[in-house]
């Protein structure tokens, strides 16, 4: 396994796709035919290249598209369309996690306040007796 990872890393460094290769847990796509739930490379007639994950013969998952002019689009693809960069996805996940933590903290404070309120009401009731 270590030899395979090292080989993939060297391949990625040579071809500039190391982050995608290391990240993918999918099997390699077939040399020909439909690309379904796999990791592979496609070179188009116009010279553009895509290296990444495929599903139902469409770009789907993490991948890198390199245009003939040298521009690179790297990130998350869905059903053949570019969605967002990996950094944007990570930022959204951090925001979502922070919001969930804030909601949990608010619930915790409300439970603590309710316990204190119940104790205060109980003390008042028993002190009056």
Strand ranges of the sheet holding 49-55, from the earlier edge strand across to the other edge: 38-43, 49-55, 58-66, 72-78, 81-84
Sign (positive/negative) of CA torsion 8, 13, 15, 19? positive
Which tokens in the block code for residue 126? 């028993």
Angle at 18 between CA 15 and CA 24, to 5 degrees: 120
Least confident of 63-67, 75-79, 106-110, 123-127: 123-127
pTM summary value: 0.47
pLDDT in tens, 83-94: 877 666 677 778
pLDDT score of 7 more than 50: no
Mean pLDDT over all residues of the chain?
Answer: 77
**For position 4, what pLDDT does the model report?**
40
Report domain extents, the chain. 2-84, 86-129
Q: Is the pLDDT of residue 2 over 60?
A: no
């Amino acid at each position: 396994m270590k030899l395979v990872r090292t080989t993939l890393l060297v391949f990625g460094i040579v071809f500039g796709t190391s982050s995608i290769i290391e990240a993918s847990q999918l099997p390699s796509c077939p040399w020909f035919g439909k690309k379904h739930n796999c990791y592979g490379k496609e070179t188009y007639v116009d010279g553009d290249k895509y290296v990444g994950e495929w599903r139902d013969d469409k770009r789907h998952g993490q991948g890198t598209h390199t245009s003939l002019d040298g521009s690179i689009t790297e990130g998350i693809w869905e059903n053949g369309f570019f969605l967002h960069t990996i950094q944007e996805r990570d930022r959204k996940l951090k925001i979502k996690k922070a919001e969930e933590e804030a909601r949990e903290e608010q619930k915790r404070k409300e439970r603590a306040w309710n316990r204190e309120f119940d104790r205060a009401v109980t003390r008042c009731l028993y002190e009056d007796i």
